[in-house]
Amino acid sequence: MSKKKYKILIVASSFYKEITSKMISSAEVELKKNNCSYKIFRVQGSLEIPTLISIKLKKEKYDGALALGCIVKGQTSHNEVIASTITNTLLNISIANLKPVGNAVLSCNNLKQAIARTKGSKNRAAEAVDAIISVLDNI
């Protein structure tokens, strides 16, 4: 548990809402356990997440940000392009703003995989919260 109180921005995709809702719940539990405050915003798809995080980090005071979304493979490799773009952009936002940005945008072959990655109290969203806090605690 962190000894400091941090304010975390959460941006979640509304696409695959049943998946991202579970991720939000898990992130909230982990943030509360670590005495962090947070604000949640929703965007339509995962590709919009980095844009809103970038805008909010420039305009408002947050210690870090968390990206929550789900991309499921279709008939082409479009999901790989989207996931890679999001990952690279989130890292660039983190470095440019000197703030940790946790990436819990799932990239799965099917919904069954996505559901499996949202189960349990220490799912991908909670792990991303822990990663953000680990960076903040070392600043």
What residues are labeled active site?
Answer: 78
| 107-110: long-range pairs with CB below 8 Å, 24+ | 107/71, 107/73, 107/79, 107/80, 107/82, 107/83, 108/70, 108/71, 108/72, 108/73, 109/72, 109/73, 110/72, 110/73
Q: Give Dmax (Cα) for the chain.
A: 47
Q: Which residues contact residue 139 at a Cβ distance below 8 angstroms, ignoring those fewer than 6 apart?
A: none
